[in-house]
Structure 1
Amino acid sequence: MTKFLIVTLLSFVSVQSVLAAPKVCPEVTPGSGMPSLAELNVTSAQLYEMGRPTELDARDLDLGKRFDGNCGPAEDAYTNVDDIIACYHYLNKLGNKMCTTDYSTIICKAGKAHVRGSALHGSTSSYCRHVANAVLWVVDHCTRSDKSCAGNAMATGNGDFLVSSMSNEW
């Protein structure tokens, strides 16, 4: 009887410790020259816990006249939408800080996803919240039923700043 009680108690304690274990979130890594998560007083786990943002208002959706956003471009580009959303939250927290890109710049990595900026002509800058709007456009328009996502859109109001949200393997 004593052995039974000890085994039962140990089983209960083991189950409780598993249930109480913190959720492990992938690391969110800012691109070169971008502010660290510590500078923003936020952790990777907090960025993941923010969840899916609401859709943009129409007034926030001027993504540029030269380019219509698109999904893909290929099956291998798709990745977990939650990783892309974590980068969205990071960029949105930067607000009016300038995000700058040249030919191709990694702005954020999270889990198996990255957000990359590309200038169509030389180099360009936009508020990071405007880059975040392009990421959110991809989330809103390119997320599939299996929660995979990939696509491209222009930073709000800047037809020269292409924002790609996709797999690190692409």
Structure 2
Amino acid sequence: MEPDTFTFGPYKISPSEVFFRTELSYAFVNLRPVVPGHILFWRNIFIIVWREVKRFLDLTVDETTDLWLTAKKIGGQLENYHKASSLTFTIQDGPQAGQTVPHVHIHILPRKTGDFENNDEIYDAIDTQEKELKKKLDLDKERKDRSADEMAREADNYRLLFS
């Protein structure tokens, strides 16, 4: 049976935003792009385990395996779909590492040559996004929330990659 909502820490995720799931994890599209003006960064995908687990070390062996195999599968499809040449996978594990949503998650970002002047700027962009999510996503004027329809369309497109 399809759940009414999925959760990401304290946040509710609509089923229309979820495009891939296994017994132990699922992937969904993000509410805001990581970097305005970088179209690829609308594609910051989150993969999380069903069970709310705050820290990576608290995952079971099965959850860890499933999470990374899911990231690998989704990453390969997204790289091809977006005609990217690389992928950034990140986990911020704990508050001192920049984690603001207390639920283990992997960010997947398709990358292209020149998408950032300094390649490591991507980590600052992710950190900014995480902090804003914790503040209920209402402080930044430049990065706008996407509509539910917009996110559902993106998730629909991604679902086709896995059918």
- Do these two structures clear the TM 0.5 threshold for a shared fold by scoring above it? no
Identify, as 1 or 2, the structure richer in strand.
Answer: 1
| Greater radius of gyration (CA) | 1
TM range (shorter): under 0.3
